[in-house]
Protein backbone atom coordinates (compact mmCIF):
# COMPACT_ATOMS: atom_id res chain seq x y z
CA UNK A 1 0.00 0.00 0.00
CA UNK A 2 1.28 3.48 -0.80
CA UNK A 3 2.27 5.78 2.04
CA UNK A 4 -0.60 8.07 1.05
CA UNK A 5 -3.21 5.30 1.31
CA UNK A 6 -1.76 4.21 4.62
CA UNK A 7 -2.24 7.70 6.06
CA UNK A 8 -5.70 7.95 4.47
CA UNK A 9 -6.78 4.58 5.87
CA UNK A 10 -5.40 5.07 9.33
CA UNK A 11 -7.00 8.45 10.06
CA UNK A 12 -9.93 8.12 12.43
CA UNK A 13 -11.69 10.51 14.79
CA UNK A 14 -9.34 9.90 17.72
CA UNK A 15 -10.60 9.83 21.27
CA UNK A 16 -7.50 9.08 23.30
CA UNK A 17 -4.58 11.50 23.27
CA UNK A 18 -1.34 11.41 25.16
CA UNK A 19 -1.74 14.70 27.01
CA UNK A 20 1.73 14.42 28.53
CA UNK A 21 3.50 14.67 25.18
CA UNK A 22 3.35 18.22 23.81
CA UNK A 23 3.90 19.18 20.19
CA UNK A 24 6.86 21.49 19.69
CA UNK A 25 6.37 24.96 18.22
CA UNK A 26 8.55 23.96 15.30
CA UNK A 27 6.37 20.96 14.55
CA UNK A 28 3.22 23.06 14.87
CA UNK A 29 4.67 25.42 12.28
CA UNK A 30 5.59 22.54 10.01
CA UNK A 31 2.07 21.12 10.30
CA UNK A 32 0.56 24.49 9.39
CA UNK A 33 2.94 24.85 6.49
CA UNK A 34 1.85 21.43 5.21
CA UNK A 35 -1.83 22.33 5.68
CA UNK A 36 -1.22 25.43 3.54
CA UNK A 37 -0.51 23.19 0.55
CA UNK A 38 -4.30 22.82 0.19
CA UNK A 39 -5.97 24.42 -2.84
CA UNK A 40 -8.08 27.61 -2.66
CA UNK A 41 -9.97 29.73 -5.16
CA UNK A 42 -7.54 31.99 -7.07
CA UNK A 43 -4.96 30.70 -4.56
CA UNK A 44 -6.34 33.29 -2.10
CA UNK A 45 -5.50 30.99 0.85
CA UNK A 46 -8.28 32.20 3.11
CA UNK A 47 -7.13 29.93 5.95
CA UNK A 48 -5.81 31.23 9.24
CA UNK A 49 -4.80 29.05 12.19
CA UNK A 50 -4.89 29.43 15.94
CA UNK A 51 -2.96 26.78 17.85
CA UNK A 52 -3.87 26.34 21.51
CA UNK A 53 -1.57 24.35 23.76
CA UNK A 54 -2.42 26.20 26.98
CA UNK A 55 -4.28 23.80 29.27
CA UNK A 56 -6.55 26.49 30.74
CA UNK A 57 -7.74 27.64 27.34
CA UNK A 58 -8.23 24.05 26.19
CA UNK A 59 -10.37 23.51 29.27
CA UNK A 60 -12.50 26.53 28.32
CA UNK A 61 -12.82 25.31 24.73
CA UNK A 62 -14.21 22.06 26.09
CA UNK A 63 -17.29 24.03 27.20
CA UNK A 64 -17.93 25.20 23.64
CA UNK A 65 -18.46 21.76 22.12
CA UNK A 66 -21.85 20.84 20.71
CA UNK A 67 -21.64 17.26 21.96
CA UNK A 68 -21.36 16.80 25.72
CA UNK A 69 -18.38 15.26 27.53
CA UNK A 70 -15.78 15.95 24.89
CA UNK A 71 -12.86 15.09 27.16
CA UNK A 72 -10.69 14.71 24.09
CA UNK A 73 -10.73 18.49 23.74
CA UNK A 74 -9.06 19.07 27.08
CA UNK A 75 -6.88 15.94 26.88
CA UNK A 76 -5.34 16.55 23.50
CA UNK A 77 -2.10 18.53 23.92
CA UNK A 78 -3.02 20.79 21.02
CA UNK A 79 -6.18 22.28 19.57
CA UNK A 80 -6.20 23.99 16.22
CA UNK A 81 -8.90 26.42 15.28
CA UNK A 82 -8.95 26.84 11.53
CA UNK A 83 -10.48 30.13 10.40
CA UNK A 84 -11.52 31.52 7.04
CA UNK A 85 -10.58 35.16 6.47
CA UNK A 86 -13.47 37.03 4.83
CA UNK A 87 -11.10 39.77 3.66
CA UNK A 88 -8.47 37.42 2.27
CA UNK A 89 -9.23 38.38 -1.32
CA UNK A 90 -7.94 41.89 -0.60
CA UNK A 91 -4.45 40.45 -0.44
CA UNK A 92 -4.74 38.57 -3.69
CA UNK A 93 -2.73 41.13 -5.62
CA UNK A 94 0.42 40.52 -3.58
CA UNK A 95 -0.13 36.75 -3.67
CA UNK A 96 -0.34 36.90 -7.45
CA UNK A 97 2.79 39.06 -7.59
CA UNK A 98 4.69 36.07 -6.17
CA UNK A 99 3.16 33.77 -8.76
CA UNK A 100 4.15 36.16 -11.54
CA UNK A 101 7.68 36.48 -10.09
CA UNK A 102 8.27 32.72 -10.26
CA UNK A 103 7.04 32.65 -13.84
CA UNK A 104 3.83 30.70 -13.29
CA UNK A 105 1.44 33.44 -14.38
CA UNK A 106 1.59 36.27 -16.90
CA UNK A 107 1.25 39.77 -15.43
CA UNK A 108 -1.85 40.54 -17.56
CA UNK A 109 -3.57 37.36 -16.32
CA UNK A 110 -2.67 38.16 -12.72
CA UNK A 111 -4.15 41.65 -13.06
CA UNK A 112 -7.28 40.22 -14.62
CA UNK A 113 -7.69 37.63 -11.83
CA UNK A 114 -7.24 40.32 -9.23
CA UNK A 115 -9.95 42.47 -10.77
CA UNK A 116 -12.33 39.52 -11.15
CA UNK A 117 -11.78 38.22 -7.61
CA UNK A 118 -12.16 41.62 -5.96
CA UNK A 119 -15.34 42.22 -7.96
CA UNK A 120 -16.77 38.79 -7.14
CA UNK A 121 -16.04 38.73 -3.43
CA UNK A 122 -16.31 42.46 -2.77
CA UNK A 123 -19.88 42.52 -4.14
CA UNK A 124 -21.04 39.23 -2.67
CA UNK A 125 -20.28 38.72 1.03
CA UNK A 126 -22.07 35.39 1.00
CA UNK A 127 -19.79 34.07 -1.74
CA UNK A 128 -16.76 35.44 0.14
CA UNK A 129 -17.91 33.55 3.24
CA UNK A 130 -18.61 30.33 1.34
CA UNK A 131 -15.18 30.42 -0.26
CA UNK A 132 -13.51 31.15 3.07
CA UNK A 133 -15.25 28.11 4.57
CA UNK A 134 -14.39 25.91 1.58
CA UNK A 135 -10.72 26.87 1.73
CA UNK A 136 -10.59 26.55 5.52
CA UNK A 137 -12.15 23.08 5.31
CA UNK A 138 -9.60 21.96 2.77
CA UNK A 139 -6.78 23.27 4.95
CA UNK A 140 -8.24 21.47 7.98
CA UNK A 141 -8.46 18.21 6.05
CA UNK A 142 -4.91 18.60 4.80
CA UNK A 143 -3.81 19.32 8.36
CA UNK A 144 -5.37 16.08 9.61
CA UNK A 145 -3.53 14.05 7.02
CA UNK A 146 -0.29 15.95 7.61
CA UNK A 147 -0.67 15.13 11.31
CA UNK A 148 -1.34 11.46 10.49
CA UNK A 149 1.76 11.39 8.33
CA UNK A 150 3.78 12.48 11.37
CA UNK A 151 2.33 9.82 13.64
CA UNK A 152 -0.24 12.07 15.30
CA UNK A 153 -3.95 11.42 15.65
CA UNK A 154 -6.66 14.06 15.37
CA UNK A 155 -10.37 14.69 15.72
CA UNK A 156 -12.62 17.39 14.26
CA UNK A 157 -14.91 18.80 16.93
CA UNK A 158 -18.31 20.46 16.52
CA UNK A 159 -18.32 23.77 18.42
CA UNK A 160 -20.29 26.92 19.16
CA UNK A 161 -18.64 29.54 16.90
CA UNK A 162 -19.66 32.60 18.94
CA UNK A 163 -18.21 31.15 22.15
CA UNK A 164 -14.99 30.09 20.45
CA UNK A 165 -14.59 33.52 18.87
CA UNK A 166 -14.96 35.14 22.23
CA UNK A 167 -12.58 32.82 24.09
CA UNK A 168 -9.88 33.13 21.43
CA UNK A 169 -10.53 36.82 20.59
CA UNK A 170 -11.04 36.05 16.92
CA UNK A 171 -11.43 39.09 14.66
CA UNK A 172 -14.86 39.76 13.21
CA UNK A 173 -13.58 39.35 9.66
CA UNK A 174 -12.74 35.70 10.30
CA UNK A 175 -15.20 32.84 10.36
CA UNK A 176 -14.36 29.79 12.50
CA UNK A 177 -14.34 26.80 10.19
CA UNK A 178 -13.06 23.80 12.13
CA UNK A 179 -11.80 22.84 15.54
CA UNK A 180 -9.25 20.03 15.49
CA UNK A 181 -7.64 18.21 18.36
CA UNK A 182 -4.17 16.82 17.64
CA UNK A 183 -1.68 14.75 19.61
CA UNK A 184 0.10 11.44 20.00
CA UNK A 185 -2.31 8.54 20.49
CA UNK A 186 -2.84 7.05 23.94
CA UNK A 187 -4.65 3.78 24.45
CA UNK A 188 -6.66 2.25 21.70
CA UNK A 189 -8.43 4.57 19.34
CA UNK A 190 -11.40 3.50 17.24
CA UNK A 191 -10.91 1.77 13.94
CA UNK A 192 -12.30 3.57 10.91
CA UNK A 193 -16.08 3.78 10.96
CA UNK A 194 -17.89 2.24 8.00
CA UNK A 195 -18.57 4.45 5.02
CA UNK A 196 -21.38 4.55 2.52
CA UNK A 197 -22.51 2.80 0.43
CA UNK A 198 -24.14 0.52 2.98
CA UNK A 199 -23.92 -3.21 2.47
CA UNK A 200 -27.26 -4.84 1.60
CA UNK A 201 -27.69 -8.05 3.52
CA UNK A 202 -24.66 -10.10 2.63
CA UNK A 203 -23.99 -8.10 -0.51
CA UNK A 204 -21.73 -5.14 -0.93
CA UNK A 205 -23.14 -1.64 -1.18
CA UNK A 206 -23.69 -0.10 -4.59
CA UNK A 207 -21.55 2.79 -5.71
CA UNK A 208 -24.65 4.30 -7.36
CA UNK A 209 -25.93 5.11 -3.86
CA UNK A 210 -23.34 7.83 -3.61
CA UNK A 211 -22.27 8.76 -7.11
CA UNK A 212 -23.51 9.16 -10.64
CA UNK A 213 -21.69 9.78 -13.85
CA UNK A 214 -23.51 12.25 -16.07
CA UNK A 215 -23.35 12.32 -19.83
CA UNK A 216 -25.17 13.92 -22.74
CA UNK A 217 -27.90 11.93 -24.49
CA UNK A 218 -28.06 11.79 -28.30
CA UNK A 219 -30.05 15.01 -28.69
CA UNK A 220 -27.72 16.73 -26.23
CA UNK A 221 -24.67 15.71 -28.27
CA UNK A 222 -26.11 17.09 -31.51
CA UNK A 223 -27.28 20.27 -29.78
CA UNK A 224 -23.85 20.72 -28.28
CA UNK A 225 -22.24 20.28 -31.70
CA UNK A 226 -24.68 22.85 -33.13
CA UNK A 227 -23.68 25.21 -30.35
CA UNK A 228 -19.98 24.75 -31.19
CA UNK A 229 -20.65 25.18 -34.91
CA UNK A 230 -22.88 28.24 -34.63
CA UNK A 231 -21.00 31.40 -35.63
CA UNK A 232 -22.64 33.51 -32.91
CA UNK A 233 -22.48 30.81 -30.25
CA UNK A 234 -26.03 31.59 -29.16
CA UNK A 235 -27.70 28.28 -30.04
CA UNK A 236 -29.48 27.30 -26.82
CA UNK A 237 -28.31 24.14 -25.16
CA UNK A 238 -31.15 21.77 -24.23
CA UNK A 239 -30.04 21.46 -20.61
CA UNK A 240 -30.98 19.92 -18.28
CA UNK A 241 -33.09 17.42 -20.26
CA UNK A 242 -30.10 16.37 -22.35
CA UNK A 243 -27.95 15.39 -19.38
CA UNK A 244 -28.45 11.82 -18.25
CA UNK A 245 -26.99 9.59 -15.66
CA UNK A 246 -24.69 7.24 -17.51
CA UNK A 247 -26.03 3.71 -16.93
CA UNK A 248 -22.84 2.12 -18.24
CA UNK A 249 -20.28 2.96 -15.61
CA UNK A 250 -16.70 2.24 -16.43
CA UNK A 251 -16.00 -1.08 -14.78
CA UNK A 252 -12.45 -0.02 -14.15
CA UNK A 253 -13.40 2.04 -11.05
CA UNK A 254 -11.89 0.47 -7.97
CA UNK A 255 -12.48 1.79 -4.48
CA UNK A 256 -9.33 3.28 -3.02
CA UNK A 257 -10.12 2.15 0.46
CA UNK A 258 -11.56 -1.16 1.54
CA UNK A 259 -12.74 -1.35 5.09
CA UNK A 260 -13.31 -4.76 6.53
CA UNK A 261 -13.90 -4.36 10.18
CA UNK A 262 -15.88 -6.43 12.64
CA UNK A 263 -17.58 -8.29 9.83
CA UNK A 264 -18.53 -5.10 8.01
CA UNK A 265 -17.29 -4.61 4.49
CA UNK A 266 -18.02 -1.47 2.53
CA UNK A 267 -16.28 -2.45 -0.65
CA UNK A 268 -18.11 -0.94 -3.57
CA UNK A 269 -20.10 -2.88 -6.08
CA UNK A 270 -20.30 -1.26 -9.47
CA UNK A 271 -23.79 -0.76 -10.77
Ligand X SMILES: Cc1cc2nc3c(=O)[nH]c(=O)nc-3n(C[C@H](O)[C@H](O)[C@H](O)COP(=O)(O)O)c2cc1C
- Residues interacting with ligand X, by CB under 6 A? 12-13, 65-67, 70, 155-158, 190, 192-193
| CB nearer ligand X, residue 148 or residue 220 | 148
Residue 234 Cβ, how far from ligand X at the closest point, in Å?
44
CB-nearer residue toward ligand X: 91 or 193: 193
Residues 114, 43: Cα–Cα separation, whole Å: 11
Nearer to ligand X by C-beta: 110 or 153? 153
Q: Which residue is nearest to ligand X (CB)?
A: 12
CA torsion sign, 129 to 130 to 131 to 136? positive
CB of 66 to ligand X, least distance (A): 6
Q: Which is nearer to ligand X, 13 or 270 (CB)?
A: 13
> In terms of CB distance, is 13 or 216 closer to ligand X?
13
Q: How far apart are CA 133 and CA 161, in angstroms?
A: 13
Closest contact distance (angstroms) between CB of 78 and ligand X is 16
Give the nearest distance from C-beta 210 to ligand X in angstroms: 15
The pair phi, psi for residue 185, each rounded to 5°, is -70, 150
Alpha helices by DSSP H, listed for 36-160, are 55-62, 71-75, 92-101, 107-123, 125-149
Which SS3 state, helix, strand or coil, does residue 130 take?
helix
Number of H helices, E strands in the chain: 9, 10
Q: SS3 for 232?
A: coil
Rounded-to-integer distance, Cα 18 and Cα 25, Å: 17
Q: Which residues contact 7 (CB under 8 A, 6 or more apart)?
A: 145, 148, 149
Of 88 and 133, nearer to ligand X (C-beta) is 133
CB of 70 to ligand X, least distance (A): 6
CB of 260 to ligand X, least distance (A): 14
Amino acid sequence: MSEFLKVLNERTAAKHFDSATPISVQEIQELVSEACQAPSSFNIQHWRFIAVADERIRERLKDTTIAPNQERVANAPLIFLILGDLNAHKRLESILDDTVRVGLLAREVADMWSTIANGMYGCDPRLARDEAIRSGSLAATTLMFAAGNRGYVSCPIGFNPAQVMEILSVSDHCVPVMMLTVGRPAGRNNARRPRLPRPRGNRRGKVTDIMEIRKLNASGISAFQAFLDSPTGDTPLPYPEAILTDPTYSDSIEPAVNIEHRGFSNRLELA
